[in-house]
Amino acid sequence: MNKDIAAIRQEYTLKSLDEREVSKDPIEQFNNWLTEALDSLLHEPTAMHIATVDANGRPSGRIVLLKGVENNGLVFYTNYDSRKGKELIKHPQACITFFWPELERQIRIEGVVEKVSPEMSDEYFNSRPVSSRLGAIASPQSKKIKSRDTLEAEFSKVIDSFKDREIVRPENWGGFILKPDYFEFWQGRSSRLHDRIVYEQNENSKEWTIGRLAP
């Protein structure tokens, strides 16, 4: 098995990426690539890996869905009492990665994280299907539960409790926005000589500088 895995090779030849041709604004460059991913009808083009750290510096990662690009930041939603929610509240820095293998591309984004406004969380929560809203209320995300039956029993109780009243967003569920200070755009190239274009933000001026990394 190990030998077979080690032998896997994929040659990347679709496109190139030149620092002289990218947008001067990394958010604009991100939106250009995201639009291309959406137009290409990729499976889950908004899926992104987000990495956080706990109090001991131990990292953890998971896939979440991008739900908006607002005020030069990337927005996603979760349970604030989940592992990632607690870690982001205590250590509000994170790294997000998008990987679009069909386009031979990935994007790494680093920055600081903060909660979005309650009004923004309400708006998105109320736009979700009823079952998704009820599921968010029923699930004690990231906590250990006895069984699947336990979860489904709680879901049934929540359904019953909201039969005759409005479904209100729980206070422990809402959005985060990651405000980037670092972008890396990766385009696969032949012979593993990949293109890696980085944007780094000056802490004082907030201006972006563009550079190239060796693959």
Structure token pair of residue 94: 């994170």
Among left, alpha and beta (phi > 0; psi -120 to 50; other), residue 142 is left
* Residue that is written with structure tokens 């990935």 in the block: 106
Catalytic one of 62, 108, 192, 212:
192
Amino acid identity, position 12: Y
Residue 9 among the catalytic residues: no
Cα dist from 116 to 13, 59, 107, 128, whole Å: 40, 23, 23, 17
Token pair belonging to 143: 């906590």
Give, for 95, the enclosing helix (H) or strand (E).
Answer: strand 93-100
Closest CA to 74 of 40, 33, 30: 30
Question: What residues are annotated to the active site?
Answer: 192
